[in-house]
Amino acid sequence: MIPEGPSPVTSSPLQFFPWMSPSPGIGSPFPWLWELKPEERGLWLIRLLVACANHVAAGSLENANIGLEQISHLASPDGDTMQRIAAYFTEALANRMLKAWPGLHKALNSTKISSVPDEILVQKLFFELCPFLKLAYIITNQAIVEAMEGEKMVHIIDLNSCEPAQWINLFQTFSARPEGPPHLRITGIHEQKEVLEQMALRLTEEAEKLDIPFQFNPIVCKLENLDLESLRVKTGEALAVSSVLQLHSLLATDDEVPRRNFNSPPVSKTRVLQMTQRTFGELLEKEPVHIYNPSSDIASSPSSLAPAPKMGSFLAALRALSPKVMVVTEQESNHNGPTLMERVIEALNFYAALFDCLESTVSRAPIERQKVEKMLFGEEIKNIIACEGGERKERHEKLEKWILRLELAGFGRVPLSYHGMLQAGRLLQTNNYDGYKMKEENGCLVMCWQERPLYSISAWGFRR
């Protein structure tokens, strides 16, 4: 247990580990570390990460650099869950530190190329390796099917149009209707033209096979720049909206944090890091780690909302379109706290569970798992920790806050389909997804790894 006393913000991490030399010399200066059992090594990593993050938050770059050097001897993107988590968190903390020198940071990142095919591949890998998106699509589709019963013209707005498998499943369900399929139009929104072109090609092919009258309306833009007039909702169309892991990005446009406040204020309050899911959580149950957190802020209170006029106006505009149903899937974690340390602790909880469940589904060796961790989870971690202001897009919030936001915009909750829940449960059982669970919460669905909530699904209709 980290001893109480002087704040780690104003003291070196070596205070906790005085036998560790800050000068590594040739080879590893801590050969005894490799003799530690995995649980002991995990505890060391947690302590070092928390101490290092505190230094980064306070702008104590020299001490943070020492901490990163120490962690590097234990962390590994090919190791166990805690080693892999530490590797990506240290990369994110280092990236944040580098932003103190904008010229250096830009120079080191100037030649990085973002590959659209790679982005498509990693999203597909996540869909295939973990059941979360499959479950979200099943629940979303069944909610749409039941809301559109008897409708002859259906228009679906897909706020994150990147996975054709979701709508192919819906096509098959619509084609089996006794009265025949409706005339279906999907408006797909994505910032990459290539992604929408692939969606249009795949969905048009499937619609022709099933003899479904179909039209795909692509809109190439970021969600924050979406002109609702371009959705072209027609009179007589029954409207549905699908948002899968997308709405939270709009919160970035409401952030007016000045760049000069990039570092969090010095920490002053002690809080115990509590985790409940296996592996990572069990380490902390054996020996809780005391962390130092900034004073509470109204923005981080579960029952309050920070002002978000852009989000509010966007939701109100969607509600004005009178959708019969809107289904929202979001990460079930608060990564939108006002201070770095709040986000670090929340992210450690959340991504430790994701890394753990991914390893339980896929062994450590396959390159597919490594790609998801590096190109998807690792990039999200970097955005949550290294970025501020409008650049920080991964502003995940918990279900209780989405309920408040949607109700304030004039939406009313719609009970999730019982048949959809049965289908989702059957998916978990038939594919041997051990450890994955679903829980009903406030009329919504929460998807969990063990007992740790990771994603939420809620359905909404407009209130007259």
Cα atoms in the 13 Å half-sphere on the side-chain side of 54: 24
With a CB cutoff of 8 Å and minimum separation 6, the contacts of 183 are: 152, 153, 154, 213, 214
Query: Does residue 227 register a pLDDT over 60?
Result: yes
Q: Which of the four pLDDT bands, split at 50, 70 and 90, describes residue 35? A: low
Kindly state the average pLDDT of the residues 139-162: 95
Domain limits of the chain? Answer: 38-109, 124-252+306-332+397-462
229 pLDDT above the threshold of 90: no
For 124-252+306-332+397-462, CATH number out of 3.20.20.150, 3.40.50.150, 3.40.640.10, 3.50.30.30 equals 3.40.50.150
pLDDT of residue 43: 85
Contact status, residue 177 vs residue 262, Cβ threshold 8 Å: no
pLDDT category, 74, cuts 50, 70, 90? Answer: confident
pLDDT tier, 73 (very low <50, low <70, confident <90, very high otherwise): confident
Confidence band, pLDDT 50/70/90 cuts, at residue 202: very high
Q: What does the pLDDT look like over 91-138, one tens digit per residue?
A: 999 999 988 888 887 888 777 766 677 888 888 999 999 999 999 999
In angstroms, the first-to-last Cα distance of the chain is 55
Q: What integer pLDDT is reported at residue 279 of this predicted model?
A: 47
359 pLDDT band, cuts 50/70/90, is confident
- pLDDT at position 80 is 86
Q: What is the per-residue pLDDT across 171-189, written as a single tens digit (0 to 9) for each?
A: 999 999 999 999 999 999 9
On the question of pLDDT at 20 being above 70, the answer is no
pLDDT: which is higher, 362 or 343: 343
Q: What CA–CA distances, in Å, run from 19 to 13, 26, 30?
A: 11, 17, 9
pTM for this structure? 0.84
pLDDT at residue 146 tops 80: yes
Mean pLDDT of 56-61: 91
Encode 143-169: b = buried (16+ Cβ within 10 Å), e = exposed: bbbbbbeebebbbbbbbbbbbbebbbb
Residue tagged 């000045």 (tokens): 258
Average pLDDT over residues 237-243: 96
Please determine, for residue 210, whether its predicted confidence score (pLDDT) is greater than 80. Answer: yes
Confidence of residue 293 (pLDDT cuts 50, 70, 90): very low
Q: Which of the four pLDDT bands, split at 50, 70 and 90, describes residue 239?
A: very high
Distance CA 42, CA 352 (A): 11
Q: Residue 408: what pLDDT?
A: 92
Q: For residues 242 and 160, what is the distance between their CA atoms, to the nearest angstrom?
A: 8
pLDDT at 294: 44
Asked whether residue 11 carries a pLDDT value surpassing 70, the answer given is no
Tell me what percent of the residues of the chain surpass a pLDDT of 90. 56
pLDDT at 143: 96
Burial class from Cβ neighbours inside 10 Å (0-12, 13-18, 19+) for residue 11 reads: middle
Q: Please state, in angstroms and rounded to a whole number, the distance separating the CA atoms of residues 464 and 461.
A: 9
Q: What is the pLDDT of residues 306-332, one digit of tens each?
A: 778 889 999 999 999 999 999 999 999
Average pLDDT value for the chain: 82
281-285, 431-435, 460-464: least confident range: 281-285
- Cα distance between residue 261 and residue 124, in whole Å: 37
Split at pLDDT 50, 70, 90, the class of 364 is: low
Most confident region among 30-39, 222-231, 399-408 by mean pLDDT: 399-408
State yes or no: pLDDT of 290 exceeds 80: no
Residue 54 has what pLDDT?
93
Strand pairing report for 238-244 and 444-449: unpaired
pLDDT of residue 275: 36
424 and 138 Cβ atoms separated by less than 8 Å: yes
Average pLDDT over residues 369-395: 93
pLDDT band at 44 (very low <50, low <70, confident <90, very high): confident
